[in-house]
Structure 1
Amino acid sequence: MTFIERHARDYSPQSAKHMCSAIRAFMRFLQYRGYVAADLASCVPGVRAWQLTSLPTYLLPDQVQTVLNGCDRHTPVGRRDYAILLLLARLGLRANEIALLTLDDIDWRIGQLAVHGKGRRRAELPLPAEVGAAMVDYLKHGRPQSGSRRVFLRHLAPHIGFASSAAVSMIATMALTRAGIDNVSHKGAHLFRHSLATQLLRAGASLTQIGQVLRHQDHDTTRIYAKVDIASLRTLGLPWPGGVR
């Protein structure tokens, strides 16, 4: 019990739930093998984990720009990372969507990008000029010669596409560290997606519009961003009885 109380605070509620589940399974194993006689699994407490209770972590626009400025665009790796970070920051793409992006997904004539999202859903997104210019710079001056149709390749041989979305997340994490941003609870590609949603909300976009930009299938996924709009939430809050002291 003391172990759980000490370590449950180090993780999110969902992670604490997984920890307790693992401990229960271990206790059942000990009883099954005869190492203990008592049913200790029933002594492990449960951890409450309500949905939509956490606040999304995000970066301010100037912080996002600091991360982008940290890329050395005179090097092939810097050009690649800069283009990837722009796709994260300006379009809110997921790491896996960037890793799977192919040359055939780009329509340069009409300035459009085909994205293969969750559940194999395909979406057509406009390609902003800033993002398109960064991708062209990488394709012309940074991308290694390869028979792969993936847009972004490993810089070291073999020059093939990323094995998974973890490579994109690592690029984002390293860029955040390089920019000296350490006041966020989660470092990774999804942080830029949260930042874009928060920036759109503060610019006056509705939750429905934000959900369309981020291609959310569930409205509850978008609704979490309402909690960062403190000014609007103040208009909904009831006055405290007796006034604030």
Structure 2
Amino acid sequence: MNQNVNVSLKLFIEYLQIEKNYSQYTLEHYQHDIKEFLMFMSEQAIPDLKTVEYPDVRVFLTMLFEKKLARKSVARKISSLRSFFRFLLREEFVAENPFALVSIPKAEKKLPEFFYEEELQQLFEACDESTPLGQRNKALLELLYATGMRVSECSQIRIKDLDMYLSTVLVHGKGSKERYIPFGSFAQDALETYITNGRKELLSKGSSTENLFLNARGGPLTARGIREILNKLIEKSTLTGKIHPHMMRHTFATHLMANGADMRTVQELLGHAFLSSTQVYTHVTNEYLKKTYMAHHPRA
């Protein structure tokens, strides 16, 4: 990459970070997508961002589809690059946005994956509560299921965000939005055991931190670390496959709605800006109820 391209990318990432307040996870995706396009420019001998034209974009998209990427991945890349060139146009680094006319492919309609109650029980049983890490894993699993918070939100929870008397946690969501979520007695018991015992032992291995969940070295547990823990718990249980980052969140919402919670309440708890984002769980709940009926009705 030449110096001008480096500067443009740096300014764009700073814009997303400061003005848009995007998470580090989202910023990494933007950088990855843009750098992939810059590599394509180099291979195609396109000298500068100013010289990128619509036909070049079509060639890039053809290359993506030849890689047999999922529609969702292609849509994300188009969105990232469209935003990047929109920023460059605003800053007058380019004269036009070659991605402006590109249509984003429709994502496949796929219902969120979730755990049935008996599957979830196997995950809880995979936690060895005799060890500090096992206590942490149990508390982590219970809190994710009790609150439906995102993995990225869970990694940011601090000790002071917990109110053990009211059984609530303050969650710092997307776009600096905060919400309080209640949790039940199972999560409370697991958290108290972890904070009183396991966390203290883990903290002794590292430096002082306010983060609730710690890694094996006593430092703050990252979102990536949480995903790895969940996958290891899957491996320890009798379940197969890998856990999706949002699977506990989907399970939380599905179980709530299957047991009669109204959609507005679930929307608030999940921190969804739009009710349409929550409506997908009505379809999931129908599948959940159908499977439960078929499994338990004497004449199913």
TM-score (norm 2): 0.59
Q: Which residue of the partner structure matches residue 27 of structure 1?
A: none
Q: Which residue of the partner structure matches residue 55 of structure 2?
A: none
How far is the alpha carbon of 1:97 from its aligned partner?
1.6
Provide, for residues 46-81 of structure 1, a one-character-per-residue CA deviation record: whole Å limited to 9, x for no partner. 88324x822111110111111111111111110001
2:150 paired with 1:150: no
Greater RCO (Cα-Cα under 8 Å, separation 6 or more): 1
Q: Which residue of the partner structure matches residue 166 of structure 1?
A: 224
How far is the alpha carbon of 1:82 from its aligned partner?
0.7
Q: In the aligned structure 1, how far is the partner of 2:212 from the partner of 2:289?
A: 42
Q: Which residue of the partner structure matches residue 49 of structure 1?
A: 106
Work out whether residues 122 and 237 of structure 2, in 8 Å CA contact, stay in contact via their aligned partners in 1.
Answer: yes
Q: Which residue of the partner structure matches residue 286 of structure 2?
A: 230
How far is the alpha carbon of 1:189 from its aligned partner?
3.5
2:199 paired with 1:179: no
Structure number with the higher helix fraction is 2
Q: In the aligned structure 1, how far is the partner of 2:179 from the partner of 2:109?
A: 30
Q: In the aligned structure 1, how far is the partner of 2:117 from the partner of 2:196?
A: 29
Note closer, same or farther for the CA distance 1:220–1:149 as it changes in structure 2 (3 Å cut).
Answer: same
Work out whether residues 106 and 113 of structure 1, in 8 Å CA contact, stay in contact via their aligned partners in 2.
Answer: yes
Work out whether residues 258 and 288 of structure 2, in 8 Å CA contact, stay in contact via their aligned partners in 1.
Answer: no
* Unaligned stretches of 5+ residues in structure 2: 1-61, 80-101, 291-300
Provide, for residues 166-206 of structure 1, a one-character-per-residue CA deviation record: whole Å limited to 9, x for no partner. 111221122122223225xx623410110111112211223
Query: Over aligned residues, Cα RMSD in angstroms?
Result: 3.0
* Unaligned stretches of 5+ residues in structure 1: 22-44, 235-245
Work out whether residues 72 and 79 of structure 1, in 8 Å CA contact, stay in contact via their aligned partners in 2.
Answer: yes
How far is the alpha carbon of 1:134 from its aligned partner?
0.6
Q: Which residue of the partner structure matches residue 275 of structure 2?
A: 219
Aligned pair partner of 1:195 in 242, 248, 251: 251
Q: In the aligned structure 2, how far is the partner of 1:18 from the partner of 1:214?
A: 23
Note closer, same or farther for the CA distance 1:170–1:188 as it changes in structure 2 (3 Å cut).
Answer: farther
Note closer, same or farther for the CA distance 1:182–1:105 as it changes in structure 2 (3 Å cut).
Answer: same
Note closer, same or farther for the CA distance 1:7–1:182 as it changes in structure 2 (3 Å cut).
Answer: farther
Q: In the aligned structure 2, how far is the partner of 1:90 from the partner of 1:101?
A: 14
Work out whether residues 201 and 229 of structure 1, in 8 Å CA contact, stay in contact via their aligned partners in 2.
Answer: yes
Work out whether residues 170 and 188 of structure 1, in 8 Å CA contact, stay in contact via their aligned partners in 2.
Answer: no
- Please tell me the residue identity of whatever aligns with 1:206: D
Q: Which residue of the partner structure matches residue 210 of structure 1?
A: 266
How far is the alpha carbon of 1:17 from its aligned partner?
4.8
Note closer, same or farther for the CA distance 1:119–1:230 as it changes in structure 2 (3 Å cut).
Answer: same
TM-score (norm 1): 0.72
Q: In the aligned structure 2, how far is the partner of 1:228 from the partner of 1:112?
A: 27
Q: Which residue of the partner structure matches residue 36 of structure 1?
A: none
